Amino acid sequence: MNRIFKNTSTLFSAHLIGRLGALAITIWLMPRYFTEHALGGYFVAIALTNLIASLTELGLQNPLVREMTLHLPQTRLYLGNALLIRSVLSLGAYTLMIISGVCLGYAPMIVEMIVFLGLAEIANSIAQLYRCVFRAHEEMKYEALTVVAERGAFVLLGGIAILLGYGLVTVCQVMLTASCINLILSIGITRYRFTALRFQPSRGIVRVLMEQALPFAIGNLFNLLYFRVDAILLSKLSPDGVDANTWYGLAYAIVNAFTILPGAFMMGAMFPVLSRVYEKEQDRLPGVYTFGVRWMVLSGVPFAIGLSTLSHEITAALFPTYTPDTVAKVATALQWLSASGGLIFFTTVVLTVLRAADKRRAFSMLMGTTALLNIGLNVILIPRFSHVGAAVAMVISEAYLLIVGFGYISKRIAKLTERGFIVKAVGLSALMGIGLVLLKGHLSVWVLIPLAVLFYGAGLAVFGEFRARFAFD
């Protein structure tokens, strides 16, 4: 138990520092130095490269963690064979990135950004396999180190480049440099702390990995398609063009910075535990599952309500150089995306459990239908409501994923052992939201946020959540 919280806190702290640093670049420096149109192009390039880079993942990451967790002495063999697979996929994915950027008719500057951002995605994709070693051995402190090094390099060098007057293409080159630092550091730690790399092709290992990965590959592709296609569709379908990507992208960046907790907790710390318990200790599975759901609910509900309530105040404080009209556009998107951000806390539990239980078909079907729903909603809503339509589509899609996913898990995998924490989270968050509504016209948003956190945390303490709720069973 201590290891889970140690790993979670380590990963969360590292990713939080990294994302807050990147967030400072994205929402503080970039809006002050680049036009809305240029910044919109940057968000499009990020979305496109990130989406196509998912082809290199091929569903490999989670099966790799799962198999190495169950067969730690064979770490070297699993890693070497996974690297061979990913190297081939990376070459194809990068080629597709460049072709897509040109064929979709984007401006030359956007295509140039895709060139460097694509290489950065490939470097991070390869580094991610080394992070699988850290997760399988439940030594997340090393992943935390690589995250801090990569994000720190980007924030420092990227910030200097922007302040010195360089353009967004240079920022993309800095991102590539930071990704290379991440890769080199990941290789070094793995080599000297865990195992020397040795390429020893094994049909058996490749077959095991691919049998598990391919069904997940389809689901993972749908997952990335679901999260990234909105930005691409927005640039083509919105009446505001790529400017809409700026309004949507800035709001998304704020929400995304704080949804690292479910990733660190569920996919980082809980995934190896869930995999092991599902395979070897089925009687403990409901307790472990409830444990994960509890802390995601207790974290996600207040996040959604608090951010939604203060969306306009936060936007106005973060973007003082924008006109009231632009602030309103970003704030409206943020209000909707805060709801989807809260839902991500819950849906991350769904996806982690399905992966840990090796429910490949269910995972692929769920992500496929969610992606299709999201694309359909975007096609309908974006031409009419621009960036707000994309945000609404995200909320509806996350709600669908939550309802269907939890229904499947309750029927086929595990049931919650209790539900009282849901009432506590909703009740405390509602009181917090009411307080914010009453006070936000009288106090600064930077005072309201810590007051809200203090009130909610005190409420959880009164209900005993910090005292007696750190056990699985």
318-371, pLDDT tens digit by residue? 998 899 999 999 999 999 999 999 999 999 999 888 888 878 788 888 988 998
Q: What is the pTM of this model?
A: 0.81
Q: What is the pLDDT of residue 251?
A: 93
- Segments in 357-441 forming alpha helices (H): 360-412, 420-439
164 or 53, which is more confident: 164
Taken as a whole, the chain contains a residue count of 473
CB 319, CB 27: distance < 8 Å: yes
Instruction: Flag whether pLDDT at 14 surpasses 80.
Output: no
Q: What is the pLDDT of residue 132?
A: 81
Work out the percent of the chain whose per-residue pLDDT is above 90. Answer: 44
Closest among 208, 183, 212, 186 to 78, alpha carbons compared: 208
Residue 30 domain-assigned (yes or no): yes
Give yes or no for residue 115 having a pLDDT over 90. yes
Average pLDDT rounded to a whole number, residues 205-230? 73
Integer Cα distance of 106 and 103 in angstroms? 8
Residue-wise DSSP of 37-102: HHHHHHHHHHHHHHHHHHHHHTT-HHHHHHHHHH-GGGHHHHHHHHHHHHHHHHHHHHHHHHHHHH
364 part of a folded domain: yes
Kindly report, residue by residue over 376-394, the tens digit of the pLDDT. Answer: 999 999 999 999 999 999 9
pLDDT at 268 over 80: no
- Please spell the DSSP secondary structure of 215-274, one letter per residue: HHHHHHHHHHHHHHHHHHHHHHH-TTTTHHHHHHHHHHHHHHHHTHHHIIIIIIIIHHHH
Cβ–Cβ under 8 Å, residues 142 and 178: no
Q: Is residue 445 part of a domain?
A: no
In a domain, 443, yes or no: no
How sure is the predictor about 228, in pLDDT bands with cuts at 50, 70 and 90? confident
Q: How many structural domains compose the chain?
A: 1
Residue 36 is assigned to a structural domain of this protein: yes
In a domain, 473, yes or no: no
Per-residue model confidence as pLDDT tens digits over 116-170? 999 999 999 888 888 888 877 777 778 888 888 898 899 999 999 999 999 999 9
Q: Which of 80-84, 218-222, 282-286, 452-456 is the most confident on average?
A: 452-456
Q: What is the mean pLDDT of residues 295-300?
A: 91
The per-residue pLDDT for 113 is 96
- Residue pair 347/363 in contact (Cβ under 8 Å)? The answer is no
pLDDT tens-digit profile of 396-441?
999 999 999 999 999 989 888 888 889 999 999 999 999 999 998 8
Q: How confident is the model at residue 11 (pLDDT cuts 50, 70, 90)?
A: low
**Is residue 215 assigned to a domain?**
yes
Residue 429 in domain? no
Higher pLDDT, 226 or 155: 155
| Residue 357: domain span | 2-418
Report the pLDDT averaged over residues 98-107: 90
